[in-house]
Amino acid sequence: MSDGREPGSCCCRNVRCSWRTWKIFRIVAVVLLFPGCSKRSSHQPVTLTFLDVEWDAPDKLSGLAQDLQAFTRETGIQVKRLGGPAGSLNQLALWRELLQKGAAAPDVCGIDAIWSGELNEYLLDLRPYFATELSSQYPGVLASYTVAGKLAAMPRHAYVGVLHYRSDLLRRYGFREPPKTWDELRTMASRIQAGERAEGDEDFWGYVWQGAPDEDLTCNGLEWQVSDGGGRIIEDDQTISVNNPQTIRAWKRAASWVGSISPPGVVAYRKWDAENVWTSGKAAFLRDWSSDYSLVSLHELPSNASRIGVTSVPGGTAGRAGTLGGNGLAVSRTSAHPREAISLIRFLLERDARLRSASRQSEPPEDIELYELPSILEPYPQLAQLNQSRGGVVTRPSVVTGEKYEDVSRAYIRGVHSVLTGERSPSAAAAALEKELVQITGFKKGPPPKRDWWSR
């Protein structure tokens, strides 16, 4: 997704680099938004400032730079595109700071799917301007950008957690289809890893994922626990549900992967770290993000792989669910050019719709196996009838926690990471996290509902 793509990841390898990058982007953004004392003459064309949450992503899927040039040719409106630093949490800090500038804030902002509650007070309500477009949106996606009935952003790119797999290796080791459960994943990963190492590839691993203390870990941890009925950390009715036997069991299972089917260093892997292992051909499975666009133009294929596949994230006793990510387009409440900003959003959404329509009339890529995709991913209609047992989608508790979501996510990340590194037992970490979340939110404690994620 997002976020993000989630959305929000970058190739920086450590906290120091991430912090330095954040400071650089902060200085550049402030300079661009405060260009000096010169005033715009009345005959100059309107220039919109676009704070782009997807700035660090390879611009090969949606062609945003080309879209902005086309918008300028069609309307005469100039667009100044700004980027952001590494990591969703660093981006959020910069976005909040810039939007607080009032009249000097960016006109259009790309925002992560989990930022609506945090940034709502600075954004225009877009519901009156896109009433006809809302009916075609997925309910769960739309809900991520809706705060107390206000549409803080118009959904643009939706991402969902998926499992990438080496279909050639599955066949080589006697597996007919990718894993549907976490237990099956461990069995397959262990056998393939042992076989590849016996063939001389001593650095080969069964499963790589994002285990660093970052927002991606919140997404992974949520998938682990919700698939076993462990709830969404905090439920829509403001119940803190994280401290339960199902969540504790899911965390314990994930910790057992570290050093067995996953590298010991996976607890420090960010998005690009895991993908680097995958693209080097050193892993059988990768937890990643996908959207309609990335499935249409999948890139970063593993070396020496004759074929790869994409499927829903494995599940447990309660089913399969990938975390929802992605980003939407918002307008600053203090923008001097709200009409032009809304026209830019409408233009970009229409361009995306045409690209999506064209992709659905084409054939699936021959070198990619798409198997039981999450319910939100439907790039090829002909696959819908073949993929009946698809995974659902789970949303993070960003709307219910509002401006406190950042603190909630950071607390959750610390708790899960302490389990993965062996610093705390799963039960001790869950109990401590529950207590911390009560202090942060003031919400009550309670058990998770039987089924609490969104699925079409």
| Residue pLDDT, tens place only, 97-152 | 999 988 778 999 999 999 999 999 999 999 999 998 888 888 889 999 999 999 99
Q: How far apart are CA 409 and CA 447, in angstroms?
A: 19
| Residue pLDDT, tens place only, 371-388 | 898 888 876 666 665 556
Q: How far is CA 418 from the centre of its chain?
A: 22
Q: Check if the beta carbon of residue 298 is closer than 8 Å to that of residue 10.
A: no
Q: Between vectors from CA 290 to CA 287 and to CA 295, what angle results, nearest 5°?
A: 125
Give buried/exposed letters for 264-300 (b at 16+ CB in 10 A, else e): eebbbbbbbbbbbbbbebbbbbbbbbbbbbbbbebee
User: If you ran DSSP here, which 8-state letter would residue 155 be given?
Assistant: E
Domains, the chain, ordered by start:
15-158+325-360 (3.40.190.10), 161-324+364-445 (3.40.190.10)
| Residue pLDDT, tens place only, 221-258 | 999 999 999 999 999 999 999 999 999 999 999 999 99
pTM: 0.86
Q: What is the pLDDT of residue 370?
A: 85
